[in-house]
Amino acid sequence: MTHGCYSFLMLLLLFTCGLCFSFPRI
């Protein structure tokens, strides 16, 4: 696993968490 791929996955995870907090599921 390259460092670039790892960074991309981290950004994707943070983006997903941001969406979850922006649109909380009831």
> For residues 22 and 1, what is the distance between their CA atoms, to the nearest angstrom?
30
Q: Quickly list H helices, the chain.
A: 3-22
What is the pTM (predicted TM-score) of this model?
0.52
Instruction: Note the pLDDT of residue 17.
Output: 85
pLDDT score recorded for residue 26: 56
- pLDDT at residue 20, as a whole number: 79
Buried-exposed string 1-25: b where 16+ CB fall within 10 A, e elsewhere:
eeeeeeeeeeeeeeeeeeeeeeeee
pLDDT tens profile 1-26: 577 888 999 999 999 888 877 776 65
HSE, CB side, 13 Å, CA atoms: give it for residue 17.
Answer: 6
What is the model's pLDDT at position 25?
64
